[in-house]
Structure 1
Amino acid sequence: MKKKALVISGILSVTVLLSGCSGLRKLDNPYVYSERTALYETGSEEDKSSTFAQDLCVVPDDVVSQDSKVTAEAVAIFDVSNGTVLFAKNPFERMYPASITKTMTALVALKYGNLSDEITVTKNAVITEPGASLCGIKPGDKLTLEQLLYGLMLPSGNDAGEAIAEHIAGGTQSFSKMMNEEALRIGATGTHFMNPHGLNNEDHYTTAYDLYLIFHEALKYPEFRKIIGTDRYTTTYQDKAGSPVNVTWKDTNRYLTGERKMPEGLTALGGKTGTTQAAGSCLIMGSSDSSKHEYISVVLKASTHATLYDNMTNLLNKIAE
């Protein structure tokens, strides 16, 4: 395993961005490990305290990045407990995240909403784009924010994302602004969101490293851990006529549902899949070993669902190396 790398508090916090921390704006590439190291060593104590923290991983220059079994375009695995990066391939490459976007949607909803909030679905939640994943809610339906979060994260409901955005911020544009502000706050400076669900937009992008930052932040919420760790969720809500609607939503993460086997000694904590033609097949997930050490792994733009899980398994196998 790699020696513990320097760790930072979200690559660049909003405070640092606004204050113009000495030398910070001169970085040619804000993700380059050597430049960050130099900045840290030459910066003032105030700059160091505002830029660095002890709970995040930085990708070192010498991290292993070649493996013929890892064929997806961008992948990375982070040892959260030890603060190290076990493997990284194109971790800072700009990529389309597809429905992994919903991790940030859930994070913003949990931060600014209440699980017990009752939400009436409007026509704005109706999505007609071919191939879009839906949880099946309809205008006039009444659900709690908690129910919508399960509809968002398990069956990957784009309609749930729209309903959440409207409830929290009044609509997609305002909610996307909140998503982008949250991304900057946690240091995900290579990210820009245009919607709460991940349907393709050329201005909607992120990186494998930024997704790690976002997922790491979301894991701080027990409710998020509970939701992503649920393989099947059954609930009842009301339609516009007041009649009960009974639904069961199944998670799309095949490790969680048992359709794919986790490597020996590892347990899936849960995660989020994503698939569009532009993004390919994607997955971010958390896992833990027998010592309760936790890991976050990301696979972006695998060619098929099958190769997505092959890539993820090969990535998880590196924990035991």
Structure 2
Amino acid sequence: MKKYVVFMLLLFLLLNSPVYSAPSTPNISSEAAIVIDANTGKILFEKNINKKLAPASTTKIMTGILAIEMGDLSKNVIIDKETPLGIIGSHIALEPGEILTFEDLLYALLIQSANDSAKAIAINLSGSVEEFAKLMNKKAKELGAKNTHFVNPHGLDEENHFSTAYDLAIIAKYAMKNDTFRNIVNNYKYKIEKTNKKDVPRYLKSQNKLMYSNEEINVDGNYIPIKYSGANGIKTGFTDNARYCLVSSAKRGEQELIAVVLKASNMKALYTDTHNLLNFGFDNFYTNKIAYERQFIKNVKVENGDKAFVTTVIDKNLSAIIPKGTNSNIETKLNLPDKLKAPIPKGRVIGNIEYLIDGKTLGTANIIAAIEVNQKPLPAVIDSKSNNFILKKWWSWPIVLFLIWRSYISVRRYKKRKKRKRRKATFVYSKKI
């Protein structure tokens, strides 16, 4: 009877224990898509992320980065005759000779998606669209966007102008670390005051409906507004070749995600896919701080130091994105020597610590010296208080023996000199007699 009760109890616990199962992947109709953790860059979902596609106005993310890093936002810009020529699509009707601040052009670029503003920024910073495109491509390579090539600053369709969902995600991740960029794309309205060529203000509005729209879309069988809780950017795009594109960002608590959708068939499909990507990230993953700056690790022995050990700590805060429902504990792998030799400056990297879950690396942090350890000075052989020899260490004996030997040699030399003097004195006295 007891065995039966135990068996039934174990069966009950087994059946009612929470079991982790992989989350169902989102249904994405667009040509390419990705969602990543904005802090770590970890890919949470992907579809054709390295396929080269026309990026349309999501190109302006790169233009905005360079404008902020290279330009002076308070500077007045005089629009040249070339800028308005050949501009199609979204614009703010810039006129030759018109004077605007560089900041106004930047807001027009990122909120209104103005193609003439993009061209004005490029010419102002580099002298020509062609030269500015070289800077765009250089920056893309620096960020790791290896499958991207820009020909213009606005994203209008041109041969050899392409990017990928992955590349746009890492470009956006970099851009959102810049406070100026982040603050601009977190707005969906902006006002440009009257200029020397315009008698009325320009009122700009973003096409990123995640920020404000109550228009409804069907997500998992439910009709909900396009406006997304926590949305804070970034950039839409559309051309006949690229179709509907969106690079988006949303933050909830400590967790922030970046999603990219390329070549959606229509506007509603674009936002449905974006909702599905962001929901997938927020519903199935969470951000956890796994290490803290100045967190104590251990004391490491130090040879020949003025301190017996050095205290080691972690050099920075470290967060990781972790699947919800996992029963595995976070494991650590410590790479730290058993002992060190002085001197050790404060802040020196001693080793590192790796955090893992289910054998996969979540993140790595450096371990540094929290204190300075100087080299130990040569110990005194004679105690200054008692004038007695200190012979507790083995290396004290050679020093003492050396001093004795030197004293012996000195005494012998002194006796020899004294003996020679006596002989010389006797010789002189005998000669006088």
Structure 1 and Structure 2 fold alike (TM over 0.5) = yes
Q: Equivalent residue for 1:286?
A: 249
Q: Does 1:217 align with 2:179?
A: no
TM-score (norm 1): 0.74
2:72 pairs with one of 114, 117, 125: 114
CA distance in 2, matches of 1:96, 1:194: 11
CA shift in 2, pair 1:248/1:126, >3 Å: same
1:195 pairs with one of 147, 152, 158: 152
Q: Does 1:247 align with 2:202?
A: yes
Bigger shift: residues 230-239 or 192-201 = 230-239
Match for 2:72: what amino acid? N
CA distance in 1, matches of 2:24, 2:65: 29
> Per-residue displacement from partner, 1:88-125 (whole Å, max 9, x unpaired)?
00111101000000000000111111111110112222
TM-score (norm 2): 0.56
* Paired residue secondary structure (1:281): strand
Match for 2:149: what amino acid? H
Match for 1:275: what amino acid? F
CA distance in 2, matches of 1:287, 1:126: 34
Q: Does 1:274 align with 2:237?
A: yes
CA shift in 2, pair 1:301/1:65, >3 Å: farther
* Paired residue secondary structure (2:274): helix
CA distance in 2, matches of 1:64, 1:112: 43
2:259 pairs with one of 284, 297, 308: 297
> Per-residue displacement from partner, 1:192-248 (whole Å, max 9, x unpaired)?
0000000001200011111011111111211101110111111214234xx654111
Residue-pair matches, total: 253
2:195 pairs with one of 238, 247, 261: 238
CA distance in 1, matches of 2:142, 2:24: 28
Q: Equivalent residue for 2:140?
A: 183
Deviation at 1:83, TM superposition (A): 4.0
Conserved in 1, the CA contact under 8 Å of 2:209 and 2:227? Answer: no
CA distance in 2, matches of 1:170, 1:64: 50
Q: Does 1:149 align with 2:106?
A: yes
Deviation at 1:262, TM superposition (A): 6.0
* Paired residue secondary structure (1:87): strand
Bigger shift: residues 294-303 or 79-88 = 79-88
Q: In terms of Rg, which structure is larger?
A: 2
CA shift in 2, pair 1:263/1:244, >3 Å: closer
Match for 1:278: what amino acid? N
Match for 2:210: what amino acid? Y
Q: Equivalent residue for 2:38?
A: 80
* Residues 40-189 of structure 1 aligned to structure 2 (within 5 Å): 67=26, 69-128=27-86, 130=88, 132-189=89-146
CA shift in 2, pair 1:143/1:129, >3 Å: closer
CA distance in 2, matches of 1:121, 1:161: 12
Conserved in 2, the CA contact under 8 Å of 1:251 and 1:257? Answer: no
Match for 1:286: what amino acid? S
* Paired residue secondary structure (1:196): coil
CA shift in 2, pair 1:65/1:295, >3 Å: same
Deviation at 1:185, TM superposition (A): 1.1
* Paired residue secondary structure (2:241): coil
Q: Equivalent residue for 2:278?
A: 316
CA distance in 2, matches of 1:198, 1:235: 23
Match for 2:208: what amino acid? N
Identity %: 37
CA distance in 1, matches of 2:124, 2:24: 42
Match for 2:205: what amino acid? K
CA distance in 1, matches of 2:196, 2:90: 20
Conserved in 1, the CA contact under 8 Å of 2:213 and 2:227? Answer: no
Structure 2 gaps, min length 5? 1-21, 216-224, 285-433
Conserved in 1, the CA contact under 8 Å of 2:33 and 2:259? Answer: yes
Match for 1:206: what amino acid? S
Q: Equivalent residue for 1:57?
A: none
Q: CA RMSD in A?
A: 2.0
CA distance in 2, matches of 1:220, 1:115: 18
Match for 2:48: what amino acid? N
If asked which structure has higher relative contact order (CA below 8 Å, sep 6+), I would say 1
Deviation at 1:308, TM superposition (A): 0.6
Which structure dedicates a bigger proportion of its chain to strand? 2
Deviation at 1:258, TM superposition (A): 2.8
Conserved in 1, the CA contact under 8 Å of 2:105 and 2:117? Answer: yes
* Paired residue secondary structure (2:95): coil
CA distance in 2, matches of 1:156, 1:175: 18
CA distance in 1, matches of 2:69, 2:23: 35
CA shift in 2, pair 1:217/1:237, >3 Å: farther
Conserved in 2, the CA contact under 8 Å of 1:125 and 1:162? Answer: yes
